[in-house]
Structure 1
Amino acid sequence: MRGGRPTEEQLRRTFEASLQDAVSGRGIRTETGFDMPTENALWDIASAYPDVTDELIEAARRAFAGQLDGSNAARWQAELARKIAERQTRER
């Protein structure tokens, strides 16, 4: 069992293996270290099997890039902050 967070290189290797599994219709393993946008994009591919399109593959690559560069997390945090502010406004 690995302790701590996976390195970027480990994530990249796991993503490529998971992408191949999804394209082949084998589904996605759990505990990969992927964020929800990346995991959801891979499940979209697995669900589309055998009719996997280049667009689905590219969407998964974009989602994974967003995980690596932090933009997925930033989007999630911005959405959470918006929801909190909205709730606070309603409570006033």
Structure 2
Amino acid sequence: MGRSRYPTGDELRRNFERELESVTSGGGLRSETGLDVDTDAALIEIAKAYPNIPDALVGAARTAFAGQLDGTNAAARRDRLQRMLIEHNRREQGDATS
């Protein structure tokens, strides 16, 4: 059964800490935590590095999660999508004039 609402900030923080604890101790990630793609990707990198996890990976996960909370991850995703759309449209117009 899917989530009926988006988690609160406190729930996200608890979920992040729970997932971080899991991957740093050799466990996996749960689904439907409310964590974004960037944060999940950083946690996956930690899981892949287990048991030799560099501090930099934990720092990167914390940075990714901070970006989720402050909206910078979402803004970067929107910017990437916008650039892709512009590039697609430019190519389409180029094909139409050929």
What TM-score comes out, normalization by structure 2 length?
0.90
| Aligned sequence identity (%) | 51
Q: Match for residue 52 of structure 2?
A: 51
Please list the CA deviations of residues 7-27 of structure 1 after superposition, one character each: whole Å capped at 9, or x if unmatched. Answer: 000000110111000100101
Q: Match for residue 63 of structure 2?
A: 62
Alignment of 1:1-92 (within 5 A): 3-92=4-93
Counterpart contact for 1:25–1:47, Cα < 8 Å: no
Distance 1:47 1:10 in 2: 25
Runs (5+) with no aligned partner, structure 1 = none
Shift of 1:91: 1.3
Shift of 1:3: 2.8
- How many corresponding residue pairs? 92
CA RMSD of aligned residues (A): 1.1
4+ aligned runs moved over 3 Å, structure 1: none
Please list the CA deviations of residues 20-68 of structure 1 after superposition, one character each: whole Å capped at 9, or x if unmatched. Answer: 0010010111111111000010011011100011100000000000000
